[in-house]
Structure formats: structure tokens, C-alpha cells
Amino acid sequence: MKKAFFMVLACAALVGFVGLPMLQAVEAPADLTIKAPEGMKVTQSEVKFSHKGHAKIDCKVCHHKGEANQKCNTAGCHDSADAKDKTSEKSFYKAFHDMKSERSCIGCHKKEAKGPTKCPECHPKKS
């Protein structure tokens, strides 16, 4: 009887550890366009981004402060609309271009030695 009880308990624990995170998973959009915060003077074209192409990366690497469905340019995150602000933690520019941070696009691409690292590779010429 004790053995059966412990087997049921072990199975329940296993289901809890494996099943519960799947219930909380957010279905990421396949493709999206990264847009600057409202009011920011934009000098480059918008960036097309593929979540599907980044599926092997843990969501928390990029979405490090909030929910997985929270965008970087939402209030309280990287929402600085000052185009000259390229160094503060609120800087929208720094969130994607910081070469020293594995959380930024360019920083991660340099570390992994794959992916675009030059302006026109992400920002195609406006037509």
C-alpha cells in the first residue's frame, strides 16, 4: 500500500513539474515588426522579427522584466522616446543594439557568431 501511494505521489509530482509550465506558456507570434516607442523620431526602417527563428532561446532572455507578451517599448521598460538616449536602461536603442549585452539583438548575434550585426541587415532601405 505504501509503495502504491509513493508511486502515485511521484507521478503527480512529475506531471506537476512537466505539465504546469506548459499551461503557462505563451503562444508567440510567428513574425512581427519591432516598432519604436510612440513619439520617437525614427531614422531607420522598422525591423521584421521572427519568433519562430528564435524559438530555441528562452523567452526570459529578451523578456527579462515582464510577461512574455509584453513589448519592449511598453511603459516602464525600454520606452525612452529620446533618439539621443543610447545608454540608459530605458533606452529603446540600447535594448537592441548594445554589443556588450547578450539580451540585445546585436550582442547576442555577436556572441553566437550568427545573425545580422550591421544596420542594413535588420533595417532595409525605405522604399
Question: What's the whole-model pTM score?
Answer: 0.68
Give the C-alpha separation, 12 to 7, whole Å: 9
Q: How many residues does the chain have?
A: 127
Q: Single out the residue of 41, 44, 24 nearest to residue 105, CA to CA.
A: 44
pLDDT digits (tens, 9 = 90+) for 67-89: 666 677 676 788 887 888 889 98
What pLDDT is attached to residue 23?
43
Task: Output 79 or 4, whichever has higher pLDDT.
Answer: 79
Give the C-alpha separation, 63 to 97, whole Å: 16
Helical segments of 40-123, H only: 59-62, 92-97, 105-112, 119-122
The DSSP H or E segment spanning 50 is strand 47-50
